[in-house]
């Protein structure tokens, strides 16, 4: 297999599209099923997320008259491409550590924001008043959580001694220290907001905006958004596992433990989702900037001190 | 102020009135000519001051009567002012809405249904009638033609015609508008709130209701006195105990009927069970509206056993059809008492847990406190009732102010909160649920022996007001009889009718996210809506008309009966 073929295989099959989509829909089922159990419900059958996507694909795509057609259609493709590349990048870093390049973690952080930006683009192109409010909220939310996400990442870089490659970072376990644990928790919340679950689902907010940003999407385009968010359920927790929890390893035992870590992160996300009401957008921004920001500044200080005096647990 | 002082106060405007009639049952009836109505109303509302309940217009042979119902809650006295409009051709009266915002809707309604002109009304758009309803046809008048008999041969509904008259109900607000409704995930029923928004801030709100008015007041005039409770229990599935009770109390009042003691206790128990399941329902919905689906599902699970109990007592989960003139239809069997008490104990534990969880949750505090504040003076001006009023520090509760059923002899508290925000409304409802559980248990223990109803042979001529505290607030019924076997006029007012307009005071200046929960916080119930859905397929063929539905329903009953036997 030559190099191009291998890259293509990575992107399209494993750890890219096929793998991430199947695992993502599976994760979506877990989220729905566990939420249902928490709420005394039965929950959907195992294949429901797959059926949902299949059914949406068979439905008519309606494009609002006033919408900017090409942006409206292009946005879900951009979003899907973003999360696809992100999961490929993370998967390669996890399973073929020698094939990574320096600075890939910066690429990962940029790719992570792509689906949200695509959502903002697509919904603002749809010319719906509900979507307009949703767009404004999504924009503010992105601005809210990007800052603490990057600040938290600084802690990781300090802990790993200035490494800028995913593979190198995966060899350290920042969460085993105070500053790292704090950074992990904050990142978890940022990831939660990125996925758009309660309490940070104000951009969709069914009972306020009637699914806001996604309001005008239907049929195949909506299926793409569903797929994108399902794949985010793989890529974003995987990012946390690689960056904070010591990665997956390459031995079968290491991969099993890595998968358990992934499931653990997923469970945390489900718990947060089911034990909180939706917060207002201004409250969310204040929480991310002031609350998380101050905590992270402290964490960075602790990590720096730990680094200078060689205290691992700080 | 006691009864004596109230009488003295009212006699200050003796010269504007034509009659003052004091009945022994805590009711005062005043009469005046239409020219003096404005001054008398202003005096009653602002000077005495009384709480405005609702207004009724009656088509009497050669004149119209507008009845303004007021309540003086301190002693549970109801004051009704009758204003006579003698000009049948161009009936008109001065509007009281300029100083009494709570009367705005009912004046629009009276204009729609009876054609009374209200001079100087701030907003005379249609409220009840649809946009395409022909001008000058007033359905509630006694001489109103049935739609098929209209003189010009036109059908009364012309769906293709879009009226451009000022009567059109939906207005165009100038700013960007975020429509909530007519169909929206926030609402279970049809209604339209147009929020004018400036970014996330709501600057104006316009409400439109009655997409499917059922004309119950008209139907009630065609039913016999004993059939009406079944009609009014269908005003709303949730308030299906309070509405019949209010009606029955109005009839019992002027007919001089006293139901047996046991019936009063049974009425109390069923009404409180209704309150419990209604309040739990609201807690769940409120959770859902702010995205807290776990609370939604848990609360509704807790609510199920209450519905099961109601089914066991009355035969139905909703629409109990249990209260009748002179008592109740179904008794609570004594062997069921331990089961109900045990079930109440279980629900009490769960509700205490849920109440604590809600009151201690910091995220809920952030989300609900200081949101959608309805100030006390606004609460009074918009004449709101029930938990909406009590959460704004207005200490009214029909159960205490004019004790009916067995409330007077039981030991319970009225819950009030001064803040007026959404959190206060949640607190009032949660604590009221606990009080209701207490009432049910005490009433069961004290349940006296004896018959549950007395025979009623004749309803005399007369008129009466009945009110009861439904879960959402006071439900009010006015009944007039001419000695026949049907009411000549039956006015019904559900609590949401006065609670919903208060959004004008509580929503402006709020955030969209806050306004949606504020809209939900009065537990709005658009109950006066649909009568029968006739479904047509694309070819225009009627799939289910009244007869086939009736047939289907009878077949189903027959099938269930066979399965049981």
**CA separation for the pair A238, A242 (Å, rounded):** 6
- For the segment B300-316, the average pLDDT, to the nearest whole number, is 90
The residue with greater pLDDT, B363 or B526, is: B363
pLDDT-derived band at B151, boundaries 50, 70, 90 = low
Q: Which CATH superfamily is domain B3-129+131-168 in?
A: NADH:ubiquinone oxidoreductase Nqo5 subunit (3.30.460.80)
What number is the average pLDDT over the span B151-177?
A: 53
Give the mean model confidence (pLDDT) for residues B25-39.
Answer: 91
Judged by CB atoms closer than 8 Å, whether chains meet at A278 and B294 is answered as no
- pLDDT tens-digit profile of B410-462? 999 999 999 999 899 999 999 999 999 999 999 999 999 999 999 998 899 99
Determine the Cα–Cα distance for residues A244 and A240; give it in Å rounded to an integer: 5
**What confidence tens digit (pLDDT) does each residue in A8-41 have?**
888 888 888 999 999 999 999 999 999 999 888 9
pLDDT > 60? residue B140 = yes
Collapsed DSSP state (helix, strand, coil) of residue B203: strand
Residue among A41, A206, A274 whose CB faces B185 most closely: A206
Q: What is the pLDDT of residue B171?
A: 55
A198:B367 CB<8 A: no
The residues near A143 (Cβ < 8 Å, ≥ 6 apart) are A285
Q: In this structure, are strands B77-85 and B27-33 parallel, antiparallel, or unpaired?
A: parallel
> Average model confidence (pLDDT) for chain B?
84
Report whether A119 contacts A210 (CB < 8 A). no
Q: Do B293 and A198 touch (CB under 8 A)?
A: yes
d(CA A19, CA A88): 10
**What per-residue confidence (pLDDT) applies to A98?**
80
User: How confident is the model at residue B291, as a pLDDT?
Assistant: 81
What does the pLDDT look like over B450-489, one tens digit per residue? 999 999 988 999 999 999 999 989 999 999 999 889 999 9
- What are the DSSP calls for A238-269, one per residue? HHHHHHHS----SSHHHHHHHHHHHHHHHHHH
Residues forming beta bridges with residue B469, ordered by sequence position: B474
What are the pLDDT digits (tens) for B516-565? 788 877 777 654 333 333 444 445 455 555 566 667 777 777 787 787 66
Residues A149-198 pLDDT 10s: 999 999 998 888 888 888 888 888 888 889 999 999 999 999 999 998 88
Q: Which residues pair with B197 in a beta bridge?
A: B202
Report pLDDT for B395.
92
Q: Which residue from A minimizes the CA distance to B514?
A: A280
pLDDT > 90 fraction of chain A, expressed in percent and rounded: 53
* CATH of segment(s) B216-521: 1.10.645.10
Give the closest residue to B435 by CA, choosing from B397, B474, B384, B388: B397
This complex has an ipTM of 0.81
Q: What is the per-residue pLDDT for A251? A: 83
Over the stretch A243-273, which tens digit does the pLDDT of each residue have? 898 888 778 888 899 889 999 999 999 999 9
Is the pLDDT assigned to residue B343 strictly greater than 50? yes
At residue B68, the 3 state secondary structure works out as strand
- pLDDT given at position A310: 84
Chain A interface, Cβ < 8 Å to B: 35, 38-41, 129-130, 132-133, 136-137, 198-199, 201-202, 205-210, 274-283
CB contact under 8 A, A210 and B367: no
């Amino acid at each position: 297999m030559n190099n191009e073929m291998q890259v293509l295989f990575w992107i399209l099959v494993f750890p890219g599209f096929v793998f991430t989509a199947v695992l993502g829909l599976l994760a979506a089922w877990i989220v729905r099923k566990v939420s249902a159990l928490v709420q005394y419900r039965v929950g959907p059958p195992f294949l429901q997320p797959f059926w949902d996507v299949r059914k949406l694909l068979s439905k008519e795509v309606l494009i609002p008259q006033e919408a900017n057609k090409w942006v409206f259609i292009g946005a879900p493709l951009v979003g899907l491409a973003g999360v696809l590349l992100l999961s490929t990048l993370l998967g390669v870093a996890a399973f073929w550590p020698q094939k990574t390049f320096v600075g890939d973690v910066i690429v990962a952080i940029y790719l992570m924001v792509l689906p949200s930006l695509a959502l903002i683009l697509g919904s603002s192109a749809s010319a719906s008043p509900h979507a307009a409010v949703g767009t404004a909220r999504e924009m503010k939310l992105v601005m809210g959580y990007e800052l603490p996400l990057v600040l938290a990442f600084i802690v990781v870089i300090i802990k790993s001694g200035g490494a800028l490659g995913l593979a190198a970072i995966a060899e350290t376990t920042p969460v085993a220290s105070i500053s790292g644990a704090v950074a992990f928790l904050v990142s978890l919340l940022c990831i939660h907001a990125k996925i758009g679950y309660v309490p940070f689902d104000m951009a969709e907010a069914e009972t306020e905006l009637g699914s806001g940003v996604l309001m005008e999407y239907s049929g195949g385009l909506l299926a793409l958004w569903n797929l994108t968010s399902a794949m985010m359920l793989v890529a974003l927790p995987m990012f946390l596992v690689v960056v904070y929890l010591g990665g997956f390893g390459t031995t079968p035992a290491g991969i099993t433990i890595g998968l358990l870590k992934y499931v653990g992160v997923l469970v945390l996300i489900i718990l947060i989702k089911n034990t909180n009401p939706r917060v207002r957008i201004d409250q969310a921004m204040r929480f991310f900037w002031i609350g998380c920001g101050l905590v992270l500044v402290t964490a960075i200080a602790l990590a720096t001190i730990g680094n200078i005096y060689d205290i691992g647990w700080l | 102020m006691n009864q004596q002082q109230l009488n003295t106060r009212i006699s200050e405007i003796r010269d504007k009135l034509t009659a003052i009639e004091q009945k022994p049952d805590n009711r005062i009836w005043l009469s005046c000519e239409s020219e003096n109505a404005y001054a008398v109303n202003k005096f009653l509302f602002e000077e005495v001051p009384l709480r405005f309940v609702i207004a009724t217009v009656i088509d009497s042979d050669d004149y119209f009567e507008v009845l303004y119902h007021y309540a003086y809650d301190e002693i549970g006295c109801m004051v009704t002012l009758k204003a006579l409009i003698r000009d049948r051709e161009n009936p008109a009266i001065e509007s009281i809405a300029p100083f009494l915002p709570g009367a705005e809707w009912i004046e629009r309604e009276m204009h729609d249904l009876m054609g009374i002109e209200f001079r100087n009304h701030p907003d005379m758009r249609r409220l009840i009638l649809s946009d395409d309803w022909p001008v000058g046809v007033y359905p509630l008048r006694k001489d109103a033609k049935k739609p098929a008999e209209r003189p010009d041969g036109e059908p009364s509904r012309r769906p293709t015609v879009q009226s451009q008259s000022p009567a059109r109900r939906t207005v165009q607000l100038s700013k960007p508008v975020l429509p909530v409704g007519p169909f929206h995930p926030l609402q279970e029923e049809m209604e339209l709130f147009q929020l004018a928004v400036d970014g996330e801030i709501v600057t104006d709100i316009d409400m439109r209701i009655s997409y499917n008015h059922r004309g119950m007041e008209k139907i009630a005039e065609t039913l016999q006195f004993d059939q009406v409770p079944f009609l009014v229990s269908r005003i709303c599935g949730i308030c299906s105990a309070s509405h019949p009770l209010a009606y029955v109390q109005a009839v019992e009042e002027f007919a001089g009927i006293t139901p047996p003691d046991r019936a009063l206790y049974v009425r109390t128990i069923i009404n409180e069970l209704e309150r419990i399941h209604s309040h739990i329902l609201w807690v769940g919905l409120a959770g859902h509206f702010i995205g807290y689906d776990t609370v939604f599902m848990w609360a509704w699970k807790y609510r199920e056993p209450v519905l099961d109990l109601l089914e066991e007592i009355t035969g139905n989960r909703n629409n109990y059809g249990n209260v009748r003139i002179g008592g109740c239809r179904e008794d609570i069997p004594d062997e069921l008492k331990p089961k109900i008490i045990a079930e109440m104990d279980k629900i009490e534990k769960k509700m205490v847990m849920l109440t604590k969880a809600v009151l201690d949750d910091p995220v809920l505090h952030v989300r609900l406190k200081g949101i959608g504040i309805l100030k006390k003076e606004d609460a009074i001006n918009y004449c709101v009732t029930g938990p909406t009023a009590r959460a704004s520090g207005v200490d009214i509760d029909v159960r205490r102010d004019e004790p009916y059923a067995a409330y007077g002899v039981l030991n319970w508290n009225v819950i009030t909160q001064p803040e007026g925000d959404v959190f206060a409304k949640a607190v009032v409802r949660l604590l009221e649920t606990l009080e209701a559980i207490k009432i049910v248990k005490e009433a069961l223990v004290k349940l006296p022996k004896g018959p549950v109803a007395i025979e009623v042979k004749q309803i005399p001529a007369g008129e009466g007001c009945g009110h009861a505290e439904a879960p959402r607030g006071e439900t009010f019924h006015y009944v007039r009889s001419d000695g026949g076997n049907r009411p000549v006029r039956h006015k019904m007012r559900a609590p949401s009718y006065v609670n919903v307009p208060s959004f004008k005071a509580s929503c402006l200046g709020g955030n969209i996210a806050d306004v949606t929960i504020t809209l939900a916080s009065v537990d709005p119930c658009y109950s006066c809506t649909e009568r029968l859905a006739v479904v047509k397929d694309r070819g225009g063929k009627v799939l289910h008309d009244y007869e086939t539905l009736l047939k289907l329903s009878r077949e189903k009953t027959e099938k269930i009966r066979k399965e049981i036997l």
